[in-house]
Structure 1
Amino acid sequence: MDDRPKILIVDDERLNLNVLSDLLRQDYKVILAKNGNQALERVNTETPPDLILLDVVMPEMDGYEVLRRLKDNDRTKDIPVIIITALDSMQDEAKGLERGAVDYIRKPFHPPIVKARLKNHLTISRQRKLLEGLANLDGLTEMPNRRSFELALEREWRRCMRSGELLSLAMMDVDCFKQYNDNYGHAAGDDVLKKVAHVLLSEARRPGDLSARYGGEEFVLLLPETDASGGRYIAEKIRVMIADLGIVHEFSSAGQVLTASLGGVTFFPSTGSKPQDLAIAADSMLYEAKRRGRNQVLWTDLTV
């Protein structure tokens, strides 16, 4: 597997493409595009480039318009773009930087400068991704945290509202977890949360699915484009898998082993509602599941 950083070079002149490709091919996986439309096609894939070298002067769609479209797309807005151009005015340089480019390289190319700038910006980008990853992960379970869930909920809400798709959400509590901590110790409690997180992560399999630690012993499961029967099925499977762990809990009112309660809701996002409405509805179902004796799944279908 080629795990080298992927560089997209966009230029309408074959000579420039060849020069940059020959310069970088040894250290990077190089992809070429000869115009703006081709560049956008190359970027909108499952494995987008790690950095883009973008020419400004191109026919039909210039580099500034390509840059604008990249920055307007949530999937591509964080890819660092370095402008490459023969233009040498300060206004042209400012124009690219103001639109989101991270740097400017002028033609003719000086190989040591090109290599040094690419290396520096790839390092900065990698460090930023690491920091963002840490900020979005729960320190104990190493699964997405509440912040990550809230960002995903906003994103999926907008996407489903545009496409007319439904959205399902489940909230889950580990039953009588305080009693478990009080009697078996916090180290044992932490171990339980890790095992529960593993169960949730194993069931959030599709690219749009997300399981996260919401706080304490509470977890969430976001299921885009999943109807009520599908959401309920996954929630029930998780409930059974947690009980089947066989973790002894003599101090639980729900049984002799550790169990979980889940409440879920299926919803059509619309302009008359907001993402928080979905979370409130799921939390209400979770509360009712706990009130009825715990270790069960309650689900409501608000699409009918």
Structure 2
Amino acid sequence: MSKKSTLLIVDDEVANIEIMNAVLEAQYEICFATSGEEALELARDVLPDLILLDVLMPGMDGYQVCDVLKRDPLLADVPVIFITGLDDQDAEQRGLALGAMDYVTKPIRPVSLRAKVANHIEMKRMRDTLAELAVTDALTGLNNRRKMDDVLRHQVSQLARTRDWLSVVMIDIDFFKLFNDTYGHPEGDRCITMVASALNRAVHRAADVKVRYGGEEFACILPQTDPQGAIQVAHDIKRQVEMLHIPHEKSTVSPYVTVSVGVASALCRPSIRHDEWVRHADRQLYISKQNGRDRISAVSFEPETA
């Protein structure tokens, strides 16, 4: 069974929320907010698939909320349908100019509301599918480097609220150029896919993100993982790769394929650059390779603010 799409209903009148909830709850997961400020906070927490947004609200009105949503990289692609009692073209044009996808007027007509929500949910699914293809590595099925950047930015922002740990692990297949030169590129591709499978077996929490960073290099993003936990994951990755027993006669550290690993961990705080984790993990990977490869180096660092 596919997961239900999530709708965020924003209206300062609870009665209006109840009406829309009754119309839509059978098909969708519903959450709601009664103010613009609450809506923005909730949207960042749940990342809804669509937002039904009232225009006339005290404090931040719907236009202001929509403007903030469309400026937020995490929420800019979430479709917004304005819901209002204003039945004039000027109001509609203003909403559409801000980035809203559609407009529904009160009183709510259930058939029209269901149809518009269903249409925009389906269009979002199609866009999400195309976007997922753009951030997926074709050889391994792992996320690619572009996806890693997006996930890191999001995780740093989320974990900064609770000042929680975030760890990044960088992995490199040892002497991979020699492997390619000895066994050929098809076997090199097979080696990469097998290491990717080992990575999947070692890193299996739903929140963890596995990435083919480029060539023979991989990475993992581990939210809410402290230094000790991240080092344990690194050992699990290394062990899973060793268990593959992929022959590598040109390696100077083992008769089989091995990996070098760099680990970086830090407590998230507001205004921290998300690329700090990659920079430190990459440095630790370099140290592992300089110190003989087939090993793990790790650091717990104090991140710089942007």
Give the match for residue 241 of structure 1. Answer: 240
Match runs of 1:1-304 below 5 Å: 1=1, 3=3, 5-9=5-9, 12=13, 14=15, 18=19, 28-29=27-28, 31=30, 33=32, 35-36=34-35, 40=39, 49-57=48-56, 62-64=61-63, 67=66, 71=70, 76-108=75-107, 113-161=112-160, 163-268=162-267, 274-303=273-302
Q: Answer whether contact 2:157 2:270 (CA < 8 A) is retained.
A: no
Q: Answer whether contact 1:17 1:32 (CA < 8 A) is retained.
A: no
- The 1:42/1:8 distance shift into structure 2, 3 A limit, reads farther
TM-score with structure 1 length normalisation?
0.79
Q: Percent identity of the aligned residues?
A: 35
Q: How far apart are residue 15 of structure 1 and its match?
A: 7.5
Could you tell me which amino acid in structure 1 is paired with residue 187 of structure 2?
Answer: A
Could you tell me which amino acid in structure 1 is paired with residue 284 of structure 2?
Answer: M
- The 1:136/1:225 distance shift into structure 2, 3 A limit, reads same
Measured in 2, the distance between the counterparts of 1:43 and 1:158 equals: 14
Q: Answer whether contact 1:247 1:258 (CA < 8 A) is retained.
A: yes
**Cα shift readout 1:166-214 (whole Å, capped 9, x = no counterpart):** 4322211111212222222322222221221122233334454322111
Measured in 2, the distance between the counterparts of 1:36 and 1:7 equals: 16
- Structure 1 stretches lacking a partner, 5+ long: none
Measured in 2, the distance between the counterparts of 1:4 and 1:129 equals: 15
- The 1:235/1:128 distance shift into structure 2, 3 A limit, reads same
Measured in 2, the distance between the counterparts of 1:229 and 1:274 equals: 23
Q: Answer whether contact 2:167 2:230 (CA < 8 A) is retained.
A: yes
RMSD: 3.7
Q: Answer whether contact 2:51 2:80 (CA < 8 A) is retained.
A: yes
Q: Answer whether contact 2:50 2:121 (CA < 8 A) is retained.
A: yes
- The 1:224/1:30 distance shift into structure 2, 3 A limit, reads closer
Q: How far apart are residue 159 of structure 1 and its match?
A: 4.3
Could you tell me which amino acid in structure 2 is paired with residue 264 of structure 1?
Answer: V
- The 1:271/1:15 distance shift into structure 2, 3 A limit, reads closer
Q: How far apart are residue 8 of structure 1 and its match?
A: 5.0
Could you tell me which amino acid in structure 2 is paired with residue 156 of structure 1?
Answer: Q
Measured in 2, the distance between the counterparts of 1:175 and 1:34 equals: 52
- Greater CA deviation, 254-263 or 40-49? 40-49
Measured in 1, the distance between the counterparts of 2:214 and 2:175 equals: 15
- The 1:239/1:22 distance shift into structure 2, 3 A limit, reads closer
Measured in 1, the distance between the counterparts of 2:29 and 2:161 equals: 35
Q: Answer whether contact 1:210 1:221 (CA < 8 A) is retained.
A: yes
3-state DSSP class of the match of 1:293? Answer: coil
3-state DSSP class of the match of 1:180? Answer: helix
Q: How far apart are residue 91 of structure 1 and its match?
A: 3.0
Q: Answer whether contact 1:33 1:42 (CA < 8 A) is retained.
A: no
Measured in 2, the distance between the counterparts of 1:224 and 1:114 equals: 38
Q: Answer whether contact 1:43 1:76 (CA < 8 A) is retained.
A: no
Could you tell me which amino acid in structure 2 is paired with residue 204 of structure 1?
Answer: V
Measured in 2, the distance between the counterparts of 1:16 and 1:154 equals: 32
Q: Answer whether contact 2:8 2:43 (CA < 8 A) is retained.
A: no
Q: How far apart are residue 249 of structure 1 and its match?
A: 1.8
Aligned residues: 302
3-state DSSP class of the match of 1:181? Answer: helix
Q: How far apart are residue 231 of structure 1 and its match?
A: 1.8
**Cα shift readout 1:71-101 (whole Å, capped 9, x = no counterpart):** 5766554331211222123332233234432
Q: Which has the larger radius of gyration?
A: 1
- Greater CA deviation, 152-161 or 68-77? 68-77
3-state DSSP class of the match of 2:186? Answer: helix
Measured in 1, the distance between the counterparts of 2:224 and 2:29 equals: 36
TM-score with structure 2 length normalisation?
0.79
**Cα shift readout 1:266-296 (whole Å, capped 9, x = no counterpart):** 3356789744443233222222222222211
**Cα shift readout 1:216-249 (whole Å, capped 9, x = no counterpart):** 0011122334332222221112111100111222
**Cα shift readout 1:114-155 (whole Å, capped 9, x = no counterpart):** 455334322321121111111111111111111111222333
